[in-house]
Amino acid sequence: MKALEHHLPRARRCDRSARRRLPLVPILALGCALGALDAEAQVRRGRALETAPPWTPVAFGARFGWDQRARGEVLGAHVSIPLLRNGVVELVPNAEMVFLTGTREYQYNIETAFVPGGAGGLFVGGGVGWRDTVLGSLDPDDPRTTYFGYVVAVGAKGGGGRLQFQVTARWTFLDDTEYRPNATTIGLNYLLWNPGREGS
The mean pLDDT of the chain is 81
| Residues contacting residue 66 through CB under 8 Å, at least 6 positions apart | 72, 73, 74, 183, 184, 185
Q: Tell me the β-bridge partners of 61.
A: 78, 189
3-state DSSP assignment of residue 141: coil
Query: Which of 115, 197, 187 lies closest to 161, judged by CA?
Result: 197
More confident residue, 31 or 118: 118
Centre a 10 Å sphere on the Cβ of residue 35 and count the other Cβ atoms it contains: 10
Task: Report pLDDT digits (tens) over 43-77.
Answer: 455 554 557 778 899 999 999 999 999 999 999 99
Q: Tell which phi-psi region holds residue 193, choosing left (phi > 0), alpha (psi between -120 and 50) or beta.
A: beta
Band of pLDDT at residue 11, cut at 50, 70 and 90: very low
Task: Report pLDDT digits (tens) over 85-115.
Answer: 999 999 999 999 999 988 899 999 999 999 9
Side chain identity, residue 150: Y
Has this prediction a pTM greater than 0.85? no
DSSP state of 23: T
